[in-house]
Every structure is written in C-alpha cells, then in structure tokens.
A and B are shown apart, each in its own frame.
Chain A
Amino acid sequence: MTVLVIAEHDNASLKGATLNTVTAASRLGGDIAVLVVGSAAGGAVEAAAKLAGVSKVLVADSAAFGDQSAENVAAQILAVVGASGASISHVLAPATTYGKNVLPRVAALLDVAQISEIVGIESADTFVRPIYAGNALATVKSADPVKVITVRTTAFEAAGDGGAATVEHVTPVADCGLSKLLGRELTKSARPELGAAKIIVSGGRGMGSGENYQAILAPLADKLGAALGASRAAVDAGYVPNDYQVGQTGKIVAPQLYLAVGISGAIQHLAGMKDSKVIVAINKDPEAPIFQVADYGLVADLFEAVPQLTAAV
C-alpha cells in the first residue's frame, strides 16, 4: 500500500502545505511517495526527499508543467496511479486553491469520490471532515478502491526533515493544450503568509476604509511579525484583496494568536479561524458574536485601542 502525496511547490521549494499533508499521509500507514509535477523542479524535489517518513519522491519534469494547469497535473497524477498497478491506495493533496483545483479531476477520472478537507483520520477508509462552514463534523467512510483526499493543513502538524528518500523520474504526460497561463499577479509582501503565520491581525468592516485598514493594522502587524487577514465583509467592501480573506470561502487559519479587529464574527468568518490557539477581539459593539469565541475581548473604539496596542507590544 502506497500513499501518494501531491507536492505543492514553486519548483524551487516546497510550499508549507505539503509538509502538513505528509503528516496526514503518515497517519494512514503504508509507504509515502511524494509526486512533484513541475518544470526544472530540482529544489522542490530535494526538499521533498529530505522529509521524514517519505520513502520515495516521484518526479515528472517537463516544460508543459510550468503553468501548473489542473488539466496537465491531473493527467500526470492519473498516469502515476495507473502505472502503480493498484498499489496506490490513497492520493492526498493540501486543501489549498492548488489542491482544490486539481484533485477533483483526478477523482472523477478514477470514478471515485473525493473526500474534501479532512481534519481527522479514523482509519484507512474513514475520515472526519467539516460541513456547513464547520458547524458540524461528519465522519465518512469511503467504499472506493482509491481514496482521493484533500487535507485541511491546519489540522495536521508540518512534517520535519530527517528522511532520505530515493528519487525516481517518471515519464511526463503530453501537454493537453487546453489552457494557457497569461500571467500571475501575486501579492508581494514581506509579511508571513496567512497559512503559515504564528500571529494574524485581521480587520473587518469596522475598519471603515482600505486607508484605515492599512494605517491602523499594518503597523501592528509589522511590530508583531504578523500576517494580515480580513473578513469577507472587508473584502466585499474593497478594503483589501480577496487573498486576505479568512473564512468558509477564504483561508482556514489556526495561528497561535488571532487578533480580530472590527470584525463582528459571522459564522462564515468563525469557520476560518476558530481553531486558533488564542483569539482576541476588539470591537465597539459589546453584543458582537466574535466575543463568544474570543479568549480575550476588549470593547473599545478600534481607532484608539489598536494604536495603543501597537505602542504597548
């Protein structure tokens, strides 16, 4: 039995989400093979081979994978599963926009169900996953021969180094030619990524404007070495880009400290951050639902409290 982990990477290095996915794979029993589908992906392959618990790294390297299109990556995963002669029992990818884009294609073409965003593993065929924005946890059992799974990365620790996996090259599939990447606009920031940050400072509609958001929250985040996040309301109001969004339809985070500023606490937002270790809420409305999940609540005008906090930490 082999568990195949799909590496998320930028060719030069592995994305952190891959490490959490390897830990989930280690809970299933069996060998762990990491598949790197990329273009000149030597750096990512080297990092994958060092991960504790990984016995093999499979590499499909081709210029056609430069775009990381879902069509090509899924076709490569299918080729690897097919060539394994039914020895691959599970295919795991992180439940990031990358994994969510690619893996359902793999499941459909294998004619199996996908089990999305698992947060727990009961056995090799039984998994726990949140439904209804995390307001319920379902335990589901799969009857399919191959289990295709995306992993909620906050529910599993990151795998460490210490392994020495063998590296094996596989024949890359041909470019399907259905899709072309025209460009990427990635938010450039010296701050940590939301998914990896130990502290997150998050703002909601209470910020009032994008200018206020930057003027009030950015200095606090910089002083704490924190990532910046936002509620859907703040994204909808145009204060910040969508990739700041924490919640059911944005990013799911679980930092050591989550500071919710001017966020009322809609269930869709709570779904994205309620597993944080410590939650602090600052809101002028004492009835705001965010206070029901906050470890420390401060009823105050954020425009006074946040600068004071920035000065005090």
Chain B
Amino acid sequence: MKILVPVKRVVDYNVKVRVKSDGTGVDIANVKMSMNPFDEIAVEEAVRLKEAGVATEVVAVSCGVGACQETLRTAMAIGADRGILVETDAELQPLAVAKLLKALCDKEQPQVVICGKQAIDDDANQTGQMLSALMGWPQATFASKVAVSAGKATVTREIDGGLETLEIALPAVVTTDLRLNEPRYATLPNIMKAKKKPLETIKPADLGVDVTPRLTTLKVVEPPKRSAGVMVADVAQLVDKLKNEAKVL
C-alpha cells in the first residue's frame, strides 16, 4: 500500500512575520523556512504506518519553488522513500494545489493521502478536503488517531466539543491534527541517506493543470495593535480594576 504525503515549505513557526511597508504582502526574504508543522506530523504518521508493515511506500510531494527540494529532503530524512517536486514560481492557492495532487494521485494510485490540516502561512485549511472531493474519495479531517486495515481506515477526529470516530473506505484523504503524533528528529545518518533518495521534478503543465490564482490579494496590513495595559500590584487591585474600571465582573 502506497501513502502520498504532500508537504509545504512555509515560514518557520517561530518567526514573527513582518508586513511589508508597501502593503503587498509579508516580508519572507531571509527568514527561516521549514516544513509546515502539520505536514511533519503527516510524514511521521505515514512512516509509522510503513514501519508497522501496513504501508509499503511513502511518497512525499511538494508544490512550489525549487527550494521546496529541501522540504522534500526533510520528509525523506524522517523516512519517506522518495520525493516529487511540482516546480513552479507561480503563486499556488489551495484549489490549484489540490488539482496538482489529484493529477499525481491519478498517476501514483496511493491508497491513503495524509495531509496537514492547515498550513501556518495562509491558514486556509482547504487542500485535503478539496483533494478528497476532486477524487470522489472519503475524508477524515483533523485526525488524532489513525488505524488502517484491509480496505478501510478508522480515524478519530478532533471536533468542537470533543472527538468523533469515523470508518472510511480506502482510498481516502486524512488530515492531521496536532495530537496525532510527535514527529521524530531526523538523525544525521538519515539526513545523509535522504540525500541519495530519488527526487523527481515535474512542472504543473506536465500534469495538465492550470494553476492560475482565483483570488487576488489587494493589500496586506498589520492587525490593529492592543494598547499596552497596566500592571497591578495584587489580587485586590486586580478585582477592583475589573469591577470598577473595565466593568467586566
């Protein structure tokens, strides 16, 4: 059984991005880039399924600029067997990525696609669901537990107010929530090994996909800042302020 894992190169989660002064976007020149954390969880889950003997091959896919090769190497250092880069300098929105992944699923025929539930740059939370719909497959989003057996998967999902467990027929798309697993650190030998694993590069046109963006960003601004508050000396003063100044108690 083959598992496909899409991975996105994003601004590292520890970086506090700055909005460009001309309002055209955020400044990502010279900031640290990493694999989207939810995608790292997805790679880890796929590799664990392989280690458990459920999956036979884990294929990592990234869509974007040439530097996404680094993200694919990271996925392979965690344990993915090979990588596919769909290389383009064009801006890719979730619908376009879902279409690229659909074309790759048609070609690679995976039984499970494990995606991160959302990327921490555009915070869209769309691609997995879109891919699932385009393939006509079932989905199990926001997974905190995944068990795969012959032809089906049992997935526990994080929903508002608790958990729900679904049984879905394969092939299917699963998207990861943060409690699914704790991704391992790639060891130096595995990082070296990853450099020798196969990495194929193709273009969106090779897959026959039009990636033209549907949304135009008109401007990007900083959110309104909260004005600095005051420090209180003790609990009595805090209660007084909340009752008489803020009037929220």
Contact = CB atoms under 8 A, between A and B. Distances in A.
Is the pairing of A and B real? yes
A108 B139 CA distance: 14
Contact of A98 (B139, B160, B222): B160
A298 B220 contact: no
Contact of B249 (A105, A183, A257): A257
B248 to A, nearest CB: 4
Contacts of B158: 97, 242-243
B230 A178 contact: no
A133 B161 CA distance: 22
A171 interface: no
Q: How large is the interface on A (under 10, 10 to 19, 20 to 34, 35 or more residues)?
A: 35 or more
B106 interface: no
B130 interface: yes
B235 A305 contact: yes
Contacts of B232: 296-298
A181 B164 contact: yes
B93 interface: yes
Given A112-B214, A117-B123, A257-B242, A70 B130 contact: no
B16 interface: yes
A267 interface: yes
A80 interface: no
B248 A256 contact: yes
A299 B127 CA distance: 43
B76 to A, nearest CB: 25
Contacts of A313: 239, 249
B188 to A, nearest CB: 26
B141 A100 contact: yes
Interface stretch (A23-31, A47-55, A82-90, A134-142): A134-142
Given A143-B216, A179-B140, 19 more contacts: A105-B129, A105-B132, A108-B95, A116-B124, A133-B120, A136-B19, A136-B26, A140-B215, A176-B138, A178-B138, A224-B249, A236-B178, A257-B249, A267-B16, A291-B229, A291-B231, A295-B246, A296-B241, A297-B229
Interface of A: 69-71, 74, 96-98, 100-109, 111-117, 126, 130-144, 176, 178-187, 193, 195, 199, 224, 232, 235-236, 241-243, 248-249, 251, 256-257, 267-268, 274, 277-280, 291-300, 305, 308-309, 312-313
30 contacts: A74-B133, A97-B141, A97-B142, A98-B160, A101-B139, A105-B129, A105-B130, A105-B139, A114-B126, A126-B218, A133-B120, A135-B26, A136-B221, A178-B138, A179-B169, A180-B166, A182-B154, A184-B164, A241-B162, A242-B158, A242-B178, A243-B161, A248-B123, A249-B117, A257-B249, A277-B246, A278-B242, A296-B230, A296-B241, A298-B232
